Chains A and B, each alone.
Chain A
Amino acid sequence: AQTVTQSQPEMSVQEAETVTLSCTYDTSENNYYLFWYKQPPSRQMILVIRQEAYKQQNATENRFSVNFQKAAKSFSLKISDSQLGDTAMYFCAFTSGTYKYIFGTGTRLKVLA
């Protein structure tokens, strides 16, 4: 069975600092996609960053970057220069293709002024 695990229920970071959120997953597939989604209090899931498993290069999107370790099945999210607007729940998600997404239980991130 495919699973996604986020072991940090809550984290906090000072504004302008850097924080890393952890995610591990389990699958026997070789081709798959990994995502980080942000869910603010408005409830809408917003895509933060996407990584294709066949790509060795880590994805980056402005202040957001990932550390993708395929052999270790690890997919962490680094947020640089944290901003108050980054305060939200962050979910790691996995899909092996056109089918369902499997989500972790989330990490609640609070950015402190």
Chain B
Amino acid sequence: ETGVTQSPTHLIKTRGQQVTLRCSSQSGHNTVSWYQQALGQGPQFIFQYYREEENGRGNFPPRFSGLQFPNYSSELNVNALELDDSALYLCASSLVVSTMTTEAFFGQGTRLTVV
């Protein structure tokens, strides 16, 4: 157990709908990153939040957005769902102090299926 929890564990949505995925960071961590893992692939970086601000973004369209809350929990929102958004979404938390970081600890993921 890493202390990073994600909800829900599974989700089925219809194309065009909107979805919100949630992540609770490990205690003491101040940074949250989200990754998309398509079947048979490695995780791809979506974005990172540090102290409630977006701190970097991967090659994902603006319909992928996020939030980080004062307690360092986080949400990933995806609008106008497409079939290709079907994937495992992983949340990872870490502690960043100045230029130093701990390793990322991952949640168990949310399996999103878009039909």
A interface residues (Cβ-Cβ under 8 A, vs B):
4, 33, 35, 37, 42-47, 50, 91, 95, 97-106
Q: How many Å from the CB of B67 to the closest CB on chain A?
A: 18
Is B33 at the interface (CB under 8 A from chain A)? yes
Q: How many residues from B make CB contacts under 8 Å with A?
A: 31
The complex places the Cα of A104 from the Cα of B42 at a distance, in Å, of 6
B45 to A44, Cβ gap below 8 A?
no
B101 to A43, Cβ gap below 8 A?
no
Across the interface, name the chain B residue whose C-beta is closest to A49: B103
Which residues from A are CB-within-8-Å of B104?
A: 47, 101
Which residues from B are CB-within-8-Å of A37?
A: 106
Which residues from B are CB-within-8-Å of A102?
A: 45
Interface residues of B in 80-115 (CB under 8 A from A): 88, 90, 92, 94, 96, 99-101, 103-109, 111
A100 to B42, Cβ gap below 8 A?
no
Contacts A44-B109, A100-B33, A101-B35 known; list 20 others, CB within 8 Å.
A33-B101, A33-B103, A35-B103, A43-B88, A43-B109, A43-B111, A45-B92, A46-B2, A47-B103, A97-B99, A98-B31, A98-B94, A100-B45, A100-B48, A101-B43, A101-B45, A101-B104, A105-B41, A106-B40, A106-B42
